[in-house]
Amino acid sequence: MEKNLFKIENLFLIVCLFWGLVLLIANPPFQAPDEFAHFFKMWGYTQGTLRYQIKDGWTGIKISKNMKEIYYAYAKHVYSSEKIPLYKTITYSKLPLEKQEQYFVKIDPSSYSPLSYFPSFIVLWLLKLFNVKPLCMMYILRFCSLLVYLSLMYGAIKITPTHKWLFLIFALLPINVYQAASISTDGITFGTIGVFIAFTLKLASDNTITKLNKLHISVWFFLITCIGLLKFAYFPLILLYFLIPTKKFKDKKTYYTNFLLTLAINTAIIIAFLLFSMHKPGMTEHVYNNQLLPSYEMIKKILSSPLQYTKLVISSTWYLKNFFFYNTISSVGGNLVMLPPFLLNLTWFILFVSAFCNKTNKEITALNFKNKELIVISIILSYLLIVTAIYIIYQTQPYITGIQGRYLTPFILLFLLLFDSKKGYISNKIIPILLTLISQVLLLLTTIIIFMYYY
């Protein structure tokens, strides 16, 4: 029993649950990035619509009177340093749902699928059915998101045949735990990618699996399909399929047929979903103020000048390099609250060291150079899709801005796997424990900074 308690995945479960609950409570209502937008997206699902409603040409949604009051009370704090007194939250927590009166509010639409909010939107439907108070709904949905992340990352750490300490330190990044303990799509997205990478490593590196069966292929297909539906920009991770040796398949024909079939089916699903999502006839404040071009016009513009667009991507990446370096690992409270640079550098240090806290045994094959090339290509292609999507949405010049660091967070795990080696590892058993303790300090300091910022 004691031996099982101190397995790395069980250690993660205990630690992440504790800090997740702390951050869930410490973070004021609806102050996580886009938390209102995600809440209202689920609210729309409970009303039977996959899109936002349209009124007088504007995109939005109908909510209850008290929900509207809470929305306007907390939305103004998201991108300001104005304090949020505790008594304010206590006061608003007493407001009942009052579903009878419905009011329309303008909302910038998001294109996430129902899978991104599973099972939270079902929980929200039940909460509305039982007339649970709006702020209570928010905290329950945060807890639901946290449980989903816990379950997925627990599974990832458990099934990965190698680099369990790296998975642990990555899963305990302040930004990951913070986003998981909020109403967001990041918890389920990061968790699913974690499981996908871990399962792919198991199929590729675990020599006890000599031949892949139908269950292996079906689970892998299911995971990459989920990733495509959660955030299509991460779909190039499908290239990690080629980490799996051909010898583990019946023959080369089966090997390539499985990949092409998976690619074709998922491409069709993603294109169909994107076409559905792009059809938004309503106006938003963002579109109204900036007079943005339609998405199809932006796509034509990019395809007509690929070289010019490539230069724009490179210059924008260089311009935002410092922002990416820090924002990717620690950004909370509407992207305005971060750890001091010294602690951010320390976070990168423990991540880097954790990549070497692994002893590859005889049953595990280390990644070779070609494997690492595939990882780099999948990262680059995913990054290009993220940048392009942001450019189409916001159309900023002379640099593409609007990219949030957390969009790049999943790439950290893949990037650090590039250091996988049978020879270059740390065998000292104390160092991983020290790294885990440091991660606790970073989470504690993140909590303190949130308190100081908001209260």
Residue 135's closest CA among 190, 73, 184, 186? 73
In this structure, are residues 32 and 184 in contact, taking their beta carbons and an 8 Å threshold?
Answer: yes
Residue 258 in this model has a pLDDT that exceeds 80: yes
Question: What pLDDT was estimated at residue 347?
Answer: 95
Listed by start position, the domains of the chain span 2-454
pTM, two decimals, is 0.93
Could you report the per-residue pLDDT of 289-312, keeping only the tens digit for each?
555 777 788 889 999 999 999 999
Could you report the per-residue pLDDT of 346-404, keeping only the tens digit for each?
999 999 999 998 655 555 777 889 999 999 999 999 999 999 999 988 888 899 988 88
Question: What pLDDT was estimated at residue 453?
Answer: 87
128-to-92, 148, 215 alpha-carbon distances in Å: 17, 21, 38
* pLDDT category of residue 275 using cuts at 50, 70 and 90: confident
Look up residue 67 and give its two tokens: 């929900």
Could you report the per-residue pLDDT of 174-230, keeping only the tens digit for each?
999 999 999 999 999 999 999 999 999 999 988 889 999 999 999 999 999 999 999
Report CA dihedral (275, 397, 57, 134) to the nearest 10 degrees. 80
Lowest-pLDDT choice from 56-65, 145-154, 414-423: 56-65
Question: What pLDDT was estimated at residue 81?
Answer: 73
Cα–chain center distance at 270? 18
Question: What pLDDT was estimated at residue 249?
Answer: 93
Q: In this prediction, what percent of the chain has a pLDDT beyond 90?
A: 58
* pLDDT category of residue 246 using cuts at 50, 70 and 90: very high
Residue 102 in this model has a pLDDT that exceeds 90: no
Phi then psi for residue 428, to 5 deg, are: -65, 125
Could you report the per-residue pLDDT of 307-346, keeping only the tens digit for each?
999 999 999 999 999 989 888 988 787 667 778 889 999 9
Question: What pLDDT was estimated at residue 109?
Answer: 60
Question: What pLDDT was estimated at residue 305?
Answer: 92
Question: What pLDDT was estimated at residue 215?
Answer: 94
Query: Residues in the chain, how many?
Result: 455
Average pLDDT of the segment spanning 85-89: 87
